[in-house]
Structure 1
Amino acid sequence: MTPDEIASVRGELEDFAAEVFEPFARDDQRRWGQVYLRGLLTDGQRKSVEPMAARLGEDGNRQAMAHFVTTSPWDPAHVRARLAWMMEAAIRPTAVVFDDTGFLKDGDASACVSRQYTGTAGKVTNCQVGVSLHLASDHASAAVDWRLFLPKTWDPGSEQADPGKVARRVACAIPDDVGHVEKWQLALDMLDETRSWGIEVPLAIADAGYGDAAAFRLGLQARGLNYVVGISSTMSAQPGEAVPVAEPYRGTGRPPVPKYPDKPQSVKQLVIAAGRKAARPVQWREGSRPGKGRSGLRRMYSRFVILRIRPAGREIVRAADGPALPECWLLAEWPAGEAEPVQFWLSDLPSGMPLTTLVRLAKLRWRIEHDYREMKQALGLAHFEGRTWNGWHHHVTLVSAAHVFCTLQRLARAPKGTAPA
């Protein structure tokens, strides 16, 4: 970039920071918010306080930066609301996407660290897990809300409470009223919070870690949101054409309750029964690698089966209005070279929905992997070395602010009529 371009970006960052940190009560908080943001955006591998302070020269007051991110009493929700408003105006999101990511740790002193599964490592390991809500469209996305998952071992009210971890709650400044909450419930809580900011998006997307929870899907429906969520291959369901049947009434006692004559099958069995010939080719977007697409990039392409099914399960049966289970879409990816389907989604979008639309929406979750990669590799999402509850929430919020700034810069500089990578 030329010196004039650099000066322009610095001015835009100052304006951005002034708007994002406007709710702060004190001038020094606004100042250190901008300094911390600049630190996250500077070159350098580590984005923890000490190396950032060293790179910032005269503004690099390590003690002031550490106090700002760890103990200064500012509410991250005010910053997150402004990020959400900015992204809503810039990208007109078509979906809210829920996901979680791991923060790998060597020690056990940080808030909520425990041996637990994270997709970041692909195994059970020592880590924190953060749940995030992203606003997404086909061409851009950003995380605008966060929750730190508190395992049962950290909850004094749980039968699985670990006395050592419970004792560390005080040192980690975990509020007394914070206990273990399932990740899917944290996702619904964030949805409620973003809606309180005036953000209304009609569709929710998530992977099987959330989609397998019937309570999560019912919670979305209760809030008026349609969904396209990943599910496990073992989820049970009835075929869409299945009908409950009642045994003949013999005139004594209560009339028989209609029941499905056959036991439910797994979604994998239903797709295999439909057969490989039911799979249709779909191209849902162009990737980032060179290929034969119109833009010179490789087409993202696979084969998919789409069926109407009726998900089973006790929670679904209890919530159903009558004996018939509600009908949904089952989408399965079955690549040409595979012996069986490899991935499954469930959706309550209306019947008649085109296959290409369902595939595009199901695959929109790739944007969140892109968000995590940028925030971790370039903006230091997992570099926070503090141990407190508030410090973690402050840091991830500031990283989200840096990521939103970068996203808005890309959008502003992209040629008209094109979608920035």
Structure 2
Amino acid sequence: MPQRPPPDLPELPALLDEWCEHLFASFPRRDQREKGRLYLRGLLTAHGRKSIRHIAGDRAGTAQEQRLQHFITGSTWPWMPVRAALADRLAGAAPPAAHVVRPLSLPRSGTQSVGIARRYDPYRGLTYRGQQAIGVWHTTARLSAPVHWRLLLPGDHPAAETIQDCAAAAVMEATRLTCHRRPVILDLPATGTALDHLTTAGLPALARTSTHAACTIADPALRGYTGRTLPARRILALRARLRHRTPGAVTVRVTLPHRSGHVLHLFATGSAPPHLWLANTHAAPSGSPTALVARVRQDLARIGTRVGLADFEGRSLAGWHRHITLASAAHAATVLALRTPEAAPATTTGAVRHLA
């Protein structure tokens, strides 16, 4: 099925002009700012896959298309200042409840794109050949938009890393980018290593975990079980039996086997089936992490795929970063134009409560 362009919103042209002035303030040359504006407009209006030819529109096949190609793959403009400006703009419009971290699967039929390898899509439970990227999403109850990306590189690449290390590195880069320590929600499989890295760095984080995940009990409330390693679901069931003696949410202090020994807080949200989470000792959620994760998945499906987040194909890693940075800006402009007023926007401090 061909992709539809993003919704035709009357607010977008004015918003686009305002955004371009802010996003491209770091560009020293006027021609770079104009190419950035043309590329962003093309991402918002072009039909189908957001190739540079489609983005060029009625100028496809002309020198203008070649200039846009060079702007993405051959130019020298750094993408990090643009991402910083994007994050700043989003924070001013809708302060985030958290940064949600999740992988983006990018199947590819050819072999020419950067980062091609056999990958696993944790949401569909399938392996595929293509790229995989880690996105850090600015997230509120009503909207979400990516502010930083990191591409997983294959095992034979000098900069190869695991998905866990990639996720942790992406969060730390985003923290430096935004100059704020946002609460982090890891929406990816087998999060122990990433959570370990973030806890060591002193960042508030929580991660979804399996009901069968092995955890070692470190909670004095479960006398007789301390030091035992059991499935997460059974540990919560043991703690639930004592809830009448200690009112409040069912939360158990645990550690992860074969990790650094950081004490984490195991808890569940929802029911039928419940979602299990591990939070480090720096913070635990006062709202639903499940709802924030769902917000990102929804916005990626309805907007992100339609503004070209998954559409860059080429050998240039720098080109991939520049394209996905501008596609992220197109996504953010769209969600802000679509949003309804939030009755009580969550702030960073309101999104978590600190644990003793």
* Range of TM-score over shorter length: 0.7 to 0.9
Query: In structure 2, what is the equivalent of residue 400 of structure 1?
Result: 328
Deviation at 1:399, TM superposition (A): 0.3
| Cα deviation digits, residues 136-162 of structure 1 (max 9, x gap) | 12222211000110121x32xxxxxxx
Correspondence for 1:270 among 229, 235, 238: 235
Distance 1:375 1:60 in 2: 30
Q: What letter corresponds to residue 225 of structure 1 in structure 2?
A: L
Deviation at 1:16, TM superposition (A): 1.3
Distance 1:87 1:349 in 2: 28
Deviation at 1:242, TM superposition (A): 6.4
**Does 1:207 find its partner at 2:187?**
yes
Q: What letter corresponds to residue 150 of structure 1 in structure 2?
A: L
**Does 1:385 find its partner at 2:313?**
yes
Query: In structure 1, what is the equivalent of residue 170 of structure 2?
Result: 190
| Aligned 1:7-406 pairs, distance under 5 A | 9-55=12-58, 61-119=64-122, 121-152=124-155, 154-155=156-157, 178-209=158-189, 211-213=191-193, 216-232=194-210, 233-238=212-217, 240-241=219-220, 263-273=228-238, 306-317=250-261, 326=263, 328-331=265-268, 333-335=270-272, 341=273, 343-348=275-280, 358=286, 360-406=288-334
Deviation at 1:30, TM superposition (A): 1.2
Distance 1:369 1:100 in 2: 11
Distance 1:218 1:212 in 2: 6
| Cα deviation digits, residues 261-299 of structure 1 (max 9, x gap) | 763111122235567998xxxxxxxxxxxxxxxxxxxxx
Distance 1:267 1:189 in 2: 27
Equivalences, count: 333
Change (3 A) 1:137 1:67: same
Change (3 A) 1:391 1:276: farther
Q: What letter corresponds to residue 328 of structure 1 in structure 2?
A: H
Give the secondary structure class of the aligned counterpart of 1:316. Answer: coil
Q: With structure 1 as the length reference, what TM-score do the two structures score?
A: 0.70
| Cα deviation digits, residues 106-140 of structure 1 (max 9, x gap) | 01221111111024653111110011111212222
Deviation at 1:209, TM superposition (A): 2.1
Distance 2:278 2:334 in 1: 33
Distance 1:358 1:372 in 2: 24
Deviation at 1:375, TM superposition (A): 4.3
| Cα deviation digits, residues 233-281 of structure 1 (max 9, x gap) | 2222216236899xxxxxxxxxxxxxx7763111122235567998xxx
Distance 1:418 1:274 in 2: 33
Max Rg structure: 1
Which of 1 and 2 has higher RCO (CA within 8 Å, sep 6+)?
2
Distance 1:15 1:262 in 2: 57
| Cα deviation digits, residues 178-213 of structure 1 (max 9, x gap) | 511223323332333333334313411112426332
| Cα deviation digits, residues 336-388 of structure 1 (max 9, x gap) | xxxxx55321123579x7xxx55613431112212321444321222223232
Change (3 A) 1:56 1:276: farther
Distance 1:261 1:196 in 2: 38
Please give the root-mean-square deviation of Cα atoms over the aligned residues, in Å: 3.3
Deviation at 1:396, TM superposition (A): 0.6
Distance 1:126 1:52 in 2: 26
Give the secondary structure class of the aligned counterpart of 1:209. Answer: coil
Distance 2:215 2:133 in 1: 29
Confirm or deny: 8 A CA contact 1:132 1:143 kept in the other structure. Answer: yes
Change (3 A) 1:37 1:46: same
Confirm or deny: 8 A CA contact 1:345 1:362 kept in the other structure. Answer: no
Distance 2:58 2:197 in 1: 46
Confirm or deny: 8 A CA contact 2:97 2:139 kept in the other structure. Answer: yes
Q: With structure 2 as the length reference, what TM-score do the two structures score?
A: 0.81
Distance 1:277 1:15 in 2: 56
Q: What letter corresponds to residue 316 of structure 1 in structure 2?
A: S
Q: What letter corresponds to residue 80 of structure 1 in structure 2?
A: R
Q: What letter corresponds to residue 27 of structure 2 in structure 1?
A: F
Distance 1:80 1:59 in 2: 29
Confirm or deny: 8 A CA contact 2:102 2:134 kept in the other structure. Answer: yes
- Which ranges of structure 2 fall in alignment gaps of 5 or more residues? 1-8, 244-248, 346-356
Identical aligned residues as a percent: 25
Q: What letter corresponds to residue 345 of structure 1 in structure 2?
A: W
Distance 2:252 2:20 in 1: 48
Give the secondary structure class of the aligned counterpart of 2:41. Answer: helix
Q: What letter corresponds to residue 67 of structure 2 in structure 1?
A: A
